[in-house]
Chains A and B, each alone.
Chain A
Amino acid sequence: MTEHVNSITLTDLCRIEGIRRDAVTAIVEYGIVKPQGNVTQEWLFESGSVYWIKKATRLQMDLELDWLAVAMVIDLLKQKDALEAENQRINRLLQRFMNDME
């Protein structure tokens, strides 16, 4: 049986994922993800956050963006995901009230 891991420390995140510490700090400063814990040493990132951290790092490097631009892109991507999910949900519900065209 494989147990899942809920969260990851800053040190492990940098070591395991090969992400620079200053990159993670910038990502947190710009509000792209919110770790648990108040001080850097206590930071804990959940798996969902790691997904966005990796995405942010890739975008920053590959598109040569500054962190403010990355934060805006990620914010829009999150909004897009949320809207798509909402749209799908509403569509499904709507279908339950719809019948075929006459």
Chain B
Amino acid sequence: MEFKDYYKILGVKPDADAKTIKTAYRKLAQKYHPDMNPDKAAEAKFRDIAEAYQVLKNEQRRAEFDELRQYGSRTSGDFRPPPGWQGARDFQFSQEGSSADFSDFFNSIFGNQGGFSQAEFRQASNERRGQDVEIELPVFLEETLSAFQKTVEYTLQVRENGQVKPLKKHLNVKIPQGVSEGQRIRLAGQGAPGMNNGAPGDLYLHIRLVPHPLFDVSGHNILITVPLAPWEAALGTKVTVPTLNGKVNLTIPAGTQTGKKFRMKGKGLTSSTVTGDLIAIAKVVMPAKPNAQSAEHWRALAASESFNPRREWEVSS
């Protein structure tokens, strides 16, 4: 078993007072708490920090740890408590809701010895509900228009005979119509299995809409850019615009600017309560460098127009 030096983990001296330990913990907890720091490595680090603090903040536990630290044998990373070691005489604290999960080192010192009667022991530490698991579920925009089935694959870390093993899971899930970016769907009992008859945790599917090559999403509306040739924008035209399910005709009026929006009612995303719109945004696109003949047309146009595209510069300067 690996020895954990709780003083080193919190970055304090072995003779640090309670206040110093608390301050050190708070600083580290702020930095590494998994809810504040999405980095996976931070989660493991926070587990060590929380464990160290649980031991060092309590006088009795700290004294026991000090004893162990002084007399336990450490040979090439393998730690053994001193002979006849009996810790945790009144060990009881709750892990409810906490993100900390204690190490084997911790459990072997404080968790599994003395203090508990048989019944208390089973209640307090044996029977444990499995952890909730959250996975991201990529969903295509087209799929959200109606309820659909999706096969979800994920891997659980299962503890078996003291060893952690990966367990692959497959689930066929019915996803309701109109799911949106960031939504969470709970599947009861599909998370990590419990320990010693504890109930399994839940599985949460975190919906992530897959970026679409043509469409962007804004609430229930979807946006599409409509590329237009300069003469189409100038003279007006009719364009067939793709939607998530089919096509619609759009009339572009003469003199349309880049950025001009056109709303097509009811062609957006659909949920049980709302139907969004499709918003088409005009984007005037220049053809490649003009050949001699085209250049002649542009020059003729330039000569007959008094249009100044940079008029706003003159106003402000």
Interface residue A34 (Cβ < 8 Å from any Cβ of B):
no
CA distance A55 to B166 in the complex (A): 26
Inside 8 A of A61's CB, which chain B residues have their CB? 96-98
- If the complex has contacts A2-B174, A58-B97, are A16 and B202 also in contact, measured as CB distance less than 8 A? yes
Inside 8 A of A51's CB, which chain B residues have their CB? 134, 184, 204
CA distance A57 to B258 in the complex (A): 49
Chain B: which residue is nearest A45 at the CB level? B186
A4 and B129 contacting across the interface, CB-CB below 8 Å: no
| A97 CB contact (under 8 Å) in B35, B182, B225 | B225
Inside 8 A of B129's CB, which chain A residues have their CB? 16, 18
B26 and A62 contacting across the interface, CB-CB below 8 Å: no
Chain B: which residue is nearest A3 at the CB level? B174
CA distance A17 to B258 in the complex (A): 52
- If the complex has contacts A4-B185, A20-B96, are A89 and B217 also in contact, measured as CB distance less than 8 A? yes
Chain A: which residue is nearest B22 at the CB level? A64
Chain A: which residue is nearest B188 at the CB level? A5
CA distance A10 to B33 in the complex (A): 26
Contact mask B199-243 → A, CB, 8 Å, 1/0?
A: 100101100000100001110000101000000000000000000
A92 and B211 contacting across the interface, CB-CB below 8 Å: yes
> Which residues, 34 to 69 on A, are CB-close (under 8 Å) to B?
47-48, 50-51, 54-55, 57-59, 61-64
Number of interface residues of B (CB under 8 A): 46
B96 and A19 contacting across the interface, CB-CB below 8 Å: yes
A18 and B96 contacting across the interface, CB-CB below 8 Å: yes
CA distance A34 to B171 in the complex (A): 30
B33 and A63 contacting across the interface, CB-CB below 8 Å: yes
CB distance from A43 to the nearest CB of B (A): 16
Interface residue ranges, A against B (CB under 8 Å): 1-6, 8, 16-20, 23, 47-48, 50-51, 54-55, 57-59, 61-64, 73, 77, 81, 85, 89, 92-93, 96-97
Known: A2-B174, A85-B181, A89-B218. 19 other contacts (CB 8 A): A1-B149, A2-B172, A2-B173, A4-B185, A4-B186, A5-B188, A16-B188, A16-B202, A17-B97, A20-B97, A47-B183, A48-B183, A50-B184, A51-B134, A54-B97, A55-B35, A58-B33, A96-B216, A97-B259
Q: Can you report 23 A-B residue pairs in the complex whose CB atoms are below 8 A from each other?
A: A1-B174, A2-B190, A3-B174, A4-B187, A16-B129, A16-B188, A16-B199, A19-B96, A19-B97, A20-B96, A48-B182, A51-B134, A51-B184, A62-B100, A63-B26, A73-B36, A77-B35, A81-B182, A85-B181, A89-B216, A89-B217, A96-B283, A97-B259
